[in-house]
Amino acid sequence: MNNKHLTDILKSLTEKEIPDDMDLWPVIQEQLQHPPRRRMRRFQRLIVVAAVLGTLLISAAAYGFYQQQTGPDDPGLDEVKHSNLITPLGLSQTINGFTVTLDWAYADAHRIAIAYTLGSEASTDMYGIFTMEHLTDDQGNLFPSTFGGVVSDNNLQKANANFDASSLSGAPDSLNLTLTVDIQRQTNLPPLPTPDPNVTPDGSGGGFGGGGGGSGEGFVPYIPEDASSFQVGNIPMGEAVEFETQATLSFEFTIPFIPAVVVEPGETITTHDLAVTLEKIAVAPSMTKAVVCHPLPDEQSWSPFVRLNTGSIQLEAAASTPLGGGCWEMTFLAPYDRQPATWTFTVERLQTPPVFTADQLEAAFAEYGVTVEVQGEGSQGGYNFSGSSQTIPEGIDINQLWRQVEDRFRQITSGPWEFTIEIP
């Protein structure tokens, strides 16, 4: 792992509102999946733990995030920017050498997105710096942080923060918002090693890791080519993480609000004697949510694996949230240009969480010539493992292999159940 990449990852380690009883289902891949200077935060309540030289210990608490969106793409947000639905802001404040500038914002029935830039004076060290956002409106609504991304470059960070707007009722013309940005520094990070000018990293020491929880969806970790070996999953907290607030900045602004288009097909399709119902679809320019219901074959957590085809793009669900009674809310980062269209929702299968022991997981990977060392026993996908890219045979896609291995340890009821819906 090159030192610049390590710096950016260490900057992103945070901890937000993680209850003791929360099932840690990994949103791991975003921390190491991208090239240097890119870090992604997705459907989090977020992350953290410890980093030591050569080994990163990462733990994540997920807000029902379904991990198939491994890249930085957000087609829904791309659409609203392309359609000029964002509101330029240009608001700026400077405190203690840190400057935050709100670039633009956008709001619809599913999310509020805010882009801002964090800069610092040349003398201000950005190592270990991260931000926490707090968004409210003048009606007393608190909008939970969901996902976003940060691109870091020396003393400049460009951030895209997203918030859950589902608490809003009705369809107001606009929202009067207050965004508070807390700038924090982790004070007990290890020092970075001094680069050896005579050594050029070749990525040969790359590694991989993954961990699971009980959300009921499969986790496919993205394995970076230039990563050092690392461990992820439901690992115990190590050294206590210590933070200091560097600055707190608050901004007030008003932006337009776009309501969702709601379609309630209530359509039921039966395949292999199993009925699946598409109850409701709520479509907004940046995101679509669909409620899928099915009878439970047993007391296990059976979740649907759903794809959406809008005619211009095909997406797997980016989030899956259980509603109870065999119903799930599926979230798609799908663009909607507010023109009539025919969309197809395909429930490809129903599946349970993977359940296995450390020995079983090691043996399954060994069949493909991949050596891993599992740390601790796993149930409902709760486990850690670490390995080295040197043990991966040439030609094997470790990310695809991960899904194949997990599928061995879950129950699957195959469909498909295909729903064709007219979107106004």
Strand 274-284 vs strand 156-164: parallel, antiparallel, or unpaired? unpaired
Q: What angle do CA 219, 222, 225 make, to 5 degrees?
A: 155
Query: For the domain bounded by 261-353+413-423, which CATH number is listed?
Result: 2.60.40.1630
Name residue, tokens 């989090």: 44
Run of H or E residues at 271: strand 267-271
| C-alpha span between 143 and 112 (Å, rounded) | 8
* Nearest CA among 221, 264, 234, 173 for reference residue 31: 221
For 363, the 3-state DSSP assignment is: helix
**How many Cβ atoms are within 10 Å of 338's Cβ, its own excluded?**
15
According to the model, what pLDDT value does residue 124 have? 62
* pLDDT tens-digit series, residues 351-391: 998 888 878 888 888 888 887 776 655 444 444 455 554 56
Residue 110 token pair = 């599913």
For 417, the 3-state DSSP assignment is: strand
Q: Are 381 and 213 in contact (CB under 8 A)?
A: yes
| C-alpha span between 271 and 297 (Å, rounded) | 14
Q: Provide the pLDDT confidence category of residue 191 given band limits of 50, 70 and 90.
A: low
| pLDDT higher at 243 or 232 | 243
According to the model, what pLDDT value does residue 215 have? 34
According to the model, what pLDDT value does residue 193 have? 59
Q: Are 211 and 383 in contact (CB under 8 A)?
A: yes
Run of H or E residues at 11: helix 3-11
As a residue count, the chain comes to 424
| pLDDT higher at 8 or 370 | 370
* Nearest CA among 136, 87, 79, 83 for reference residue 107: 87
| C-alpha span between 279 and 417 (Å, rounded) | 13
Q: Provide the pLDDT confidence category of residue 88 given band limits of 50, 70 and 90.
A: very high
* pLDDT tens-digit series, residues 25-55: 333 333 333 333 333 333 322 222 222 222 2
Residue 285 to residues 54, 71, 72, 110, Cα–Cα distance (Å): 43, 20, 18, 9
Tell me how far the alpha carbon of residue 152 is from its chain's centroid. 18
8-state DSSP, 140 = S
pLDDT at 66 over 70: no
According to the model, what pLDDT value does residue 418 have? 98
Q: Lowest-confidence range among 2-16, 87-101, 246-260?
A: 2-16
* pLDDT tens-digit series, residues 257-271: 999 999 999 999 999
| pLDDT higher at 133 or 370 | 133
According to the model, what pLDDT value does residue 50 have? 25
pLDDT at 290 over 90: yes
- Evaluate the omega torsion of the peptide bond into residue 416 and state whether it is cis, within 30 degrees of 0: yes
Instruction: Taking residues 194-212, report their average pLDDT.
Output: 48
Name residue, tokens 């942080």: 145
As separate numbers, helices (DSSP H) first and strands (DSSP E) second, the chain gives 5, 26
According to the model, what pLDDT value does residue 380 have? 41
On whether the pTM is more than 0.85, the answer is no
According to the model, what pLDDT value does residue 20 have? 38
According to the model, what pLDDT value does residue 319 have? 86
| C-alpha span between 56 and 33 (Å, rounded) | 14
Run of H or E residues at 399: helix 398-408
Instruction: Indicate the domain borders of the chain.
Output: 261-353+413-423
Instruction: Taking residues 274-279, report their average pLDDT.
Output: 96
* pLDDT tens-digit series, residues 400-419: 788 888 899 999 999 999 99
Q: Provide the pLDDT confidence category of residue 340 given band limits of 50, 70 and 90.
A: very high
According to the model, what pLDDT value does residue 24 have? 33
Run of H or E residues at 78: helix 75-82
**How many Cβ atoms are within 10 Å of 279's Cβ, its own excluded?**
16
